[in-house]
Structure 1
């Protein structure tokens, strides 16, 4: 196998992992990889919306939280989720060839 898709727990999607250089892949392998990636890539907007809903829930909790340490934890959780959203946007917007070559 020249590539695989590995589930990323943090982002909640599968990401491509090449076992050979992009240039070493055949045209058929490249086409298959890009086809599979497009299927995964198409689910990224739904994943982003799910994470945004989680942020809204945590912000609502933060608005009524009186315990300072708990407020700090909520802020940290919100920042981490926002970071995931940023990374998902990068994966979604990256050109197909560039995203696969540039990350692996």
Structure 2
């Protein structure tokens, strides 16, 4: 197979792993990839909501935390979760670029 979808542990979703450039796939294979991606893509908003809940939990902990080192750890965790959300939004919008490109 010239493509797979593999779980990205950091993001918590499957990502496409294409073994050639998009334009080198036959139209039928592109449609299969897009179909599978659309299924994955549909789960991204739910994943983002999970991460937002984790951020809210960490912020609540941070609000009550008196230990400076633990406060720094919580801030770091919040930053990492926000970074993951940002990356998920990038992947969520990636479908638009692929779809537009495949029409040419």
TM-score, structure 1 length as denominator?
Answer: 0.91
Aligned to 2:58: 58
| Residue 43 (structure 1) aligns with | 43
Look up the match of 2:6.
Answer: 6
Alignment deviations for residues 40-99 of structure 1 (CA, whole Å, 9 cap, x no partner): 00000000000000000000000000000000000000000000000111111221517x
1:71 paired with 2:71, answer yes
1:20 alignment partner, SS class: coil
SS in 2 for 1:6: strand
Q: Secondary structure at the match of 2:49?
A: helix
Q: Distance in 2 between matches of 1:93 and 1:30?
A: 17
Runs of 5+ consecutive residues of structure 2 not aligned to the other structure? none
Q: CA RMSD in A?
A: 1.4
| Conservation of the 8 A alpha-carbon contact between 1:5 and 1:16 | yes
Q: TM-score, normalised by structure 2?
A: 0.91
Aligned-partner SS, 1:84: helix
Question: Which structure 1 residue ranges, 4+ long, deviate > 3 Å from structure 2?
Answer: none
Quick one: higher RCO (CA 8 Å, sep 6+), 1 or 2? 1
Question: SS of the counterpart of 2:10?
Answer: coil
Q: Is the 8 A contact 1:34 1:96 kept in 2?
A: no
Equivalent position of 1:97 in the other structure: 98
5+ residue gaps, structure 1:
none
